[in-house]
Amino acid sequence: MAKLPKPEELMAGRPPFPAKGWMNTKPEFKAGNFCYPAKVEIMEGMHMPHPHEWRPDEEDWHLPENWEEIIYNGLKERLAKHRSLKVFLDSCVRCGACADKCHFFIGTNDPKNMPVLRAELLRSVYRKDFTLVGKLLGKVVGARKLDKNVIKEWFFYAYQCTECRRCSLFCPYGIDTAEITAIVRELLYELGLGINWVMEPVSNCNRTGNHIGLQPHALKDIIEFLCDDIETITGIRINPPLNEKGHEVLFITPSGDVFADPGIYTFMGYLMLFHEIGLDYTLSTYASEGGNFGSFVSFDMAKKLNAKMYAEAKRLGAKWILGGECGHMWRVVNQYMATYNGPAPDNMITPVSPITGTVFKHAAATKMIHIAEFTADLIKHGKLNLKPERNNHIITTYHDSCNPARAMGLLEEPRSILRAVCNNFVEMPPNTIREQTFCCGSGSGLNTEEIMELRLRGGMPRGNALRYVQQKNDVNWLTCICALDRAVLPTVANYWAPGVTVSGLHELVANALVMKGEIPRTMDLRQEDLPEPDVDESAASGEEDA
Amino acid sequence: MIVSFVAALLIGLAAWTGSQAGLQYLFGMALPLLAVVVFIGGMIWRVLYWAKSPVPFAIPTTGGQERSLDWIKPARLDTPMTKAGVVGRMLLEVLLFRSLFRNTTTRVDPQNMRITYFSSKWLWLFALLFHYCFLVTFIRHFRFFLEPVPVCLEWVEFFDGILQVGVPTLFLSNVLIVCALLFLFLRRIVNPKLRYISMANDYFPLFLIMGLVGTGICMRYFDKLDVAQAKVFIMGIVHFSPQSVEGLNPLFFTHLTFLSVLLIIFPFSKLVHMGGVFLSPTRNLPCNTRQVRHVNPWNKPTVFHTYAEYEDDFREPMAEAGLPLEISLEEAQAHDNEKSGKPVEPASAQ
């Protein structure tokens, strides 16, 4: 990995626009600005078309012989399948409203990272091959012939877009770059061009049930290990059910939550909450992945991986599914799951909270709700005994992850929880939160080490907003509800706003949660000393509920 | 830009000189009739072309709070859950350019390590002015097509000329559309980002509309057109009984030609955004995708790695870890033995 520039250098060193027009500039592939190609055996294993050896920084990408035909037919097929693609390609007036809304554009100042130009990369080919005007007038009307450099450009810029849809919010026609990027990535996969950071998790998820490739027994071990930690902190032993039939709820969360710091604390938080309220639930090793890297490959792959959720709910006889904190998982669950793999199995019902009786009518079709919806309802009904003072050393802000914000509208639920469990909550500036939130810079499968500088550039707007509240309000904590965020924001924060800790929402919930029969807490979930440890009330023991 | 300018100029010149060289019927009748046919036919074709492709997925962009728990106030218009909400959202979008109203400008200040986002409503304001002035002007022109002139048209003219300045009365829409056109043009030249993304097909409609508006204004205030005769001529076209063109201002034919070219390119250029805005699936669908299943007409059969295949892969370690199994280790072994010792072939993912 290349040495990283200092934050101030990176910000000041954004290059000016090239003198030449965009059709006459080519991307320069060099170490650090591209993701590694998917391994051939993985592509073969997932039955992807044209698996082959290639390197982005080499001249010859060894495309299949009839690559032009493949792209032409591929685009034709997708135009016939997606009205969105036709409308988005035809309607853009290049008003530029999207231009400075993209975190990658703000971070790189590369004009082709303006969503409008990112789309023009495909649009120009569409004009040439599929419109009369483009065929007749060519370059004058922005039509260009497909050549190998265009393919390279597509690869370069389709992997500098995290499909966060911030641009689509500002576009007067609702043109959604995520749709364009997703389709360009699909077309590239048709030529055997994919990235390993996406394909390997996809392959793992297909076989082992989760992105990180944890086999069932290993997953069980890890969960037991986390339960050991919970016992150390609370004195309570939890034995979460795994693959058990006949429970009311199937809980599915991204596997990142059992894998790495700080996601594991969020996972511990879920288990503590479920134990405390006596939720009748099970985890599954087969459907042990909430996230869906398939959605960064193709619609078909997303569907294939997503299918396990309903299949497992059916096999286990679960009545509804509770989903953990994750970003793109909720894009898929909220907007695609019912379409892909619905209707939900017959044994499932509209989710009802067994604790409060609240019926989640808005999930009547998918039978799946977000844990923030579930917990917010619990807290509203006063079902949790909370001591937010345990989080008093934390001054937190909240990062809306792109997909729950702009593909779901999950904005107030997590905030209401955060206010209940933490006494110090400060918002970042209004143009960087809620539906206008900025991506972490590493979404949609770009959370790989080899493009670290690019990720930090993409994370610049988020990092800068964080830095702002750190300086202004002494914020020392960033709460988020996305496993990818938990994996990448520590790096972004460490670079742009050093000193800010990143955590999931349910880590703070569990810190504040007073559990029946627990020992006085002296540690938080990270086993760090609480500045104000619980007073030992063993003298007055016996009374539990407030 | 130069190409577009020259093209628009040539079109104007051709019409102006042509109509003085006896080609008035070509520019004043044949071309406009053709343009109307192309426009209507083209737009129908365009909408059918879009409509032919299905909407496989419901992908509304949520612009605010979802409707989930009773005590959380949903954003009924920015994240509409109901059909009525969607109609509201679309009306806001089409009539008031809701999304453009959100526009901000980003400023990166490396010296102070600060990125600032300013509210930036200029584009929204001038885009709105432009479109509404165009609409008002369009409506006013019905005076040339209708006999008697409906009273509502007189109202439009009254309000448009409410300043009561000059003779003939200065129309507000004339002033504002010129301002808006200049703004929309200048921002493409002045703003480096806009300059970089703008292409000939962005400038060309602008120049055509400038020509259209310019000739129209000329004929009203300066090189005045015999409006009565123009109306006789236009009514003649409408009723397919051509009237005399003698003495009609050549600017009139130039005006008609700019309009005709605009109509002709309309369905085949970015101007189709007029229709596209109604069909955008990030705006015109309800955000109730967990409540109501959206059906994809080409949804493929679900093919995935099943639990049975998974258990076959991991039965031993699962048994060892004490995880529940559908087929116990013993059963699986017995099954294997039955098959004369052959190991069970793990089924492929596909």
The b/e string for B215-230 (b: 16+ C-beta within 10 A; e otherwise) is bbbbbbeeeebeeebb
Nearest to B19 by CA among B259, B343, B246: B246
State the pLDDT at residue B342: 55
Contact B296/A339, CB-based, under 8 Å? yes
Same domain, A335 and A459: yes
CA distance B23 to B16: 10
Q: Which strand (E) or helix (H) includes residue A479? A: strand A477-480
Alpha-carbon dihedral angle through residues B59, B65, B69, B71, given to the nearest 10 degrees: -160
Asked if residue A316 has pLDDT above 70, the reply is: yes
Query: Distance of CA A80 to CAs A182, A312, B105, B272, Å?
Result: 16, 33, 36, 19
Task: Nearest chain A residue to B315 by CA: give it.
Answer: A216
Distance from CA of B48 to the nearest CA of A (A): 11
Residues found in chain B? 350
Q: Are residues A243 and A323 in the same domain?
A: yes
Residue A17 to residue B192, Cβ atoms within 8 A: yes
Residue of B nearest to A415 (CA): B72
Q: Do the domain assignments include residue A405? A: yes
Nearest-Å Rg of the Cα atoms of chain B is: 31
> Which B residues 34-53 touch A at CB under 8 Å?
46, 49-53
CA distances from A290 to A252, A295, A305, A332, B350 (A): 5, 12, 10, 10, 21
pLDDT tens-digit series, residues B51-61: 999 999 999 99
Residues A269 and A292 in one domain: yes
* B321–A220 C-beta distance less than 8 A: yes
Where, residue-wise, is CATH 1.20.950.20 in chain B?
2-279
Contact A365, B290 (CB under 8 A): yes
Q: Which of residues 297-326 of B touch A (CB under 8 A)?
A: 298-300, 302-307, 310-311, 313-314, 317-318, 320-324, 326
Average pLDDT over residues A510-523: 96
Residue B350 — pLDDT band, cuts 50, 70, 90? very low
Q: For chain A, how long is the longest CA-to-CA vector?
A: 89
Joined together, the tokens standing for residue B86 give: 């969607």
Tell me whether residue A238 is in a domain: yes
pLDDT at A539 over 80: no
Residues A142, A234 within the same domain: no
Q: Which residue, among B212, B124, B35, has the nearest Cα to A172 in the 3D structure?
A: B124
- B262-306 pLDDT, tens digit per residue, is 999 999 999 999 999 999 999 999 999 999 999 999 999 989 999
- Tell me if residue A195 falls in helix, strand or coil: strand
Chain B segment 237-296 residues within 8 A of A by beta carbon are 268-270, 272-273, 276-277, 279-283, 287-296
| Residue A537: pLDDT band with limits 50, 70, 90 | low
- Please tell me if residue A352 touches chain B, with a CB cutoff of 8 Å: no
Residue at a domain's end among A136, A161, A194: A194
Total structural domains within chain A: 2
Residue A1 predicted with pLDDT over 60: no
Q: How far is CA A327 from the centre of its chain?
A: 4
**Is any Cβ of chain B less than 8 angstroms from the Cβ of A86?**
yes
The pLDDT of residue B128 is above 70? yes
State the pLDDT at residue A544: 47
CA distance B188 to A160: 26
Q: Average pLDDT, whole number, for chain B?
A: 92
What percent of chain A is modeled with pLDDT above 90?
Answer: 96
Residue type, A273: L
pLDDT given at position B167: 80
Asked if pLDDT for residue A227 goes beyond 80, the answer is: yes
Asked if residue A177 lies in contact with residue A141, where contact means CB atoms within 8 angstroms, the answer is no
Whether B139 and chain A come into contact, CB under 8 Å, resolves to: no
Reply yes or no on whether the pLDDT at A150 is more than 50: yes
Residues 6+ apart with CB under 8 A from B1: B188, B189, B198, B200, B203
pLDDT at A546: 41
What secondary structure, in 3-state letters, does A104-161 show?
HHHHHCCHHHCHHHHHHHHHHHHHHHHCHHHHHHHHHHCCCCCCHHHHHHHHHHHCCC
CB B205 within 8 A of CB B270: yes
Q: Average the pLDDT over A138-165 and give the result.
A: 95
Prediction ipTM score: 0.93
The secondary structure of A431-443 as a DSSP string is: GGSGGGPPP-S-T
Answer yes or no: do A158 and A239 share one domain: no
Indicate if the pLDDT at residue B346 is higher than 70: no
pLDDT given at position B116 = 96
In the numeric block, which tokens belong to residue B4?
């577009």
Can you give the pLDDT at residue A182?
A: 97
The model's pLDDT over A401-450, given as tens digits with 9 standing for 90+, comes to: 999 999 999 999 999 999 999 999 999 999 999 999 999 999 999 999 99
Amino acid at A335: Q
Count of other CB atoms within 10 angstroms of residue B91: 12
Start-end of H helices in A337-451: 337-341, 371-380, 402-406, 412-421
CB A199 within 8 A of CB A39: yes
DSSP 8-state assignment for residue A18: P
Mean pLDDT of chain A: 95
Nearest Cα residue to A262 out of A546, A527, A3: A527
pLDDT band of residue B243 (cuts 50, 70, 90) is confident
Rounded to whole angstroms, the Cα distance separating A104 from A460 reads 8
- Contact yes or no for A174 and B304 at CB 8 A: no
* Sheet strand arrangement including A368-370: A281-283, A249-252, A320-323, A368-370
In this structure, are strands B114-119 and B104-109 parallel, antiparallel, or unpaired? Answer: antiparallel
Q: What residues contact residue A238 under an 8 Å CB cut-off, 6+ apart?
A: A227, A230, A231, A271, A272, A275
Q: Tokens 């090239």 belong to which residue?
A: A18
CB A510 within 8 A of CB A273: yes
**Is the separation of the CB atoms in A517 and A232 below 8 Å?**
no
Q: Which of A24, A177, A217, A309 to mutate to test the interface with B (most CBs of B within 10 A)?
A: A217
Write down which residue in A165, A194, A223 finishes a domain: A194
Q: What is the pLDDT of residue B349?
A: 44
Phi, psi (rounded to 5 degrees) for B183? -60, -50
φ/ψ of B117, rounded to 5, equals -115, 115
Mean pLDDT within A235-247: 97
Q: What is the mean pLDDT of residues A118-140?
A: 95
Query: pLDDT tens digits for B66-119?
Result: 999 999 999 999 999 999 999 999 999 999 999 999 999 999 999 999 999 999
Residue B258 CA to residue B240 CA, distance in Å, equals: 22
Chain A residues near residue B324 by CB distance under 8 angstroms? 242-245
Instruction: Quote the tokens at residue A255.
Output: 């596997």
Out of A83, A335, A380, closest to residue B289 by CB: A335
pLDDT at A452 over 60: yes
Per-residue confidence band for A2, with pLDDT thresholds at 50, 70 and 90: low
Chain A residues inside the 8 Å CB shell of B201? 140-142
* The two three-digit tokens of residue A401, written as one number: 């992850």
CA B92 to CA B102: how far, in whole Å?
Answer: 12
Containing structural domain, residue A156: 7-194
Q: Residue A536: its pLDDT value, please? A: 78
Asked: is B2-279 a CATH 3.20.20.120 domain? The reply is no
Shortest CB distance from B65 goes to which of A169, A363, A411?
A411
Nearest CA in chain B to A87: B276
What value does the mean pLDDT take over residues A9-17?
Answer: 95
Same domain, yes or no, for A263 and A176? no
Among B4, B67, B68, B121, most A C-beta atoms within 10 A, so best to mutate, is B68
Report whether pLDDT(A215) > 50.
Answer: yes
**Among B66, B207, B274, which would you mutate to test the A interface (most chain A Cβ atoms within 10 Å of its Cβ)?**
B66
pLDDT, residue B163, reads 86
Q: How far is B71 from chain A (nearest CA, A)?
A: 9
Same domain, A130 and A233: no
The tens digit of pLDDT for each residue in B322-343 reads 999 999 999 999 988 887 555 5
Tell me the shortest Cα–Cα distance from B281 to chain A, in angstroms: 6
DSSP letters spanning A481-522: S-HHHHHHHHHHHHHHSTT-EEEEHHHHHHHHBPPTTPPPP-
| pLDDT at residue A322 tops 90 | yes
pLDDT given for residue B238 in this prediction: 84
Confidence of residue B345 (pLDDT cuts 50, 70, 90): low
CA distance B157 to chain A (A): 30
pLDDT recorded at residue B127 = 97
Contacts of residue B293, Cβ cutoff 8 Å, sequence gap at least 6: A338, A339, A342, A343, A365, A366
DSSP labels, A291-349: --GGGGT-HHHHHHHHHHHHHHHHHHT-SEEEE-S-SHHHHIIIIIHHHHH-SPPTT--
Pairing of strands A249-252, A320-323: parallel
